[in-house]
């Protein structure tokens, strides 16, 4: 088991990448703290983990709130005695996120609060816990759009994920000598509820698909496997990386055949 005896905190664990990662981390031996604003689905994930013989506990957390982030880290330490892995994964893609002219300030602020501030707050309270454990791994979910402009406008989301990349690099440099590794997972377009709701028409979906060399949307479980590598000791010399898992979209724009 690649995460035996590790304690992992996963935010946004009720669906998509977070859900698949919580399940996989548990299967690989981690004791998982599933954090989410959605208690019903979060508890369901915990139930699944326990049903397969794993250890997990749920904690309610709105990652845009400092108190909730402080509490989720404290909960992990109180429940399992330590924290080794922090996966700052929670995020939103707002339906009214568009270009700079059309996007409302409220959409911008909400997106930044969850996607960027949420990562900051996770690290603010998570780093001291990792120090107490003697080191560990932080994984922040960014996106391919932080590297490559999106064909479908989503200015707040893109900017928020760019902020995640910048934070990740700085955190990696600052904490490298403390045995704390910090990396950004950059997924390509995924067949998740989050993206499918945003790309709410076949035309929008095709505008994304046409640029992916592999010709398909990625899967949440594929991102979970990438997160597992970053969480495990197999990536012991990897820090400050933009870990891109995107079907080739950032390597080359392709045109329809």
Residue of 125, 157, 237, 253 with catalytic role: 157
Residues with Cβ within 8 Å of residue 148, at least 6 apart in sequence = 249, 250
Residues with Cβ within 8 Å of residue 6, at least 6 apart in sequence = 25, 29, 30, 31, 84, 85, 231
Q: Is 80 a catalytic residue?
A: no
- Dihedral (Cα; 27, 182, 180, 112), 10-degree rounding: -100
CA angle 38, 59, 137 (to 5 degrees): 110
Residues with Cβ within 8 Å of residue 18, at least 6 apart in sequence = 10, 11, 12, 34, 36, 87, 89, 90
CA angle 56, 168, 43 (to 5 degrees): 20
Residues with Cβ within 8 Å of residue 162, at least 6 apart in sequence = 142, 146
Strand, helix or coil for residue 13:
coil
Query: Which residues are known to be catalytic?
Result: 157
């Amino acid at each position: 088991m690649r995460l035996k005896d590790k304690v992992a905190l996963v935010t946004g664990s009720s669906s998509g990448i977070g859900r698949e990662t919580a399940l996989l981390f548990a299967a690989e031996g981690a004791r998982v703290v599933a954090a989410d604003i959605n208690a019903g689905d979060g508890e369901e994930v915990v139930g699944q983990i326990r049903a397969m013989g794993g250890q997990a506990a749920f904690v309610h957390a709105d990652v845009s709130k400092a108190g909730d982030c402080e509490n989720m880290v404290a909960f992990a330490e109180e429940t399992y005695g330590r924290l080794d892995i922090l996966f700052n994964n929670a995020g939103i893609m707002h339906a009214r996120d568009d270009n700079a002219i059309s996007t409302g300030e409220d959409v911008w602020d909400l997106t930044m609060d969850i996607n960027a501030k949420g990562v900051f707050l996770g690290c603010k309270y998570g780093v001291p816990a990792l120090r107490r454990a003697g080191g560990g791994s932080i994984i922040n979910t960014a996106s391919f759009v932080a590297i490559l402009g999106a064909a479908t406008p989503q200015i707040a989301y893109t900017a928020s994920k760019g902020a995640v990349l910048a934070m990740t690099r700085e955190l990696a440099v600052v904490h490298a000598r403390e045995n704390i590794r910090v990396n950004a997972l950059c997924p390509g377009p995924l067949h998740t509820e989050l993206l499918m709701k945003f790309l709410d028409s076949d035309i929008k979906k095709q505008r994304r698909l046409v640029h992916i060399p592999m010709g398909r949307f990625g899967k949440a479980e594929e991102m979970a496997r990438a997160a597992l590598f970053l969480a495990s000791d197999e990536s012991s010399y990897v820090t400050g990386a933009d870990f891109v898992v995107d079907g080739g979209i950032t390597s080359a724009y392709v045109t329809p055949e």
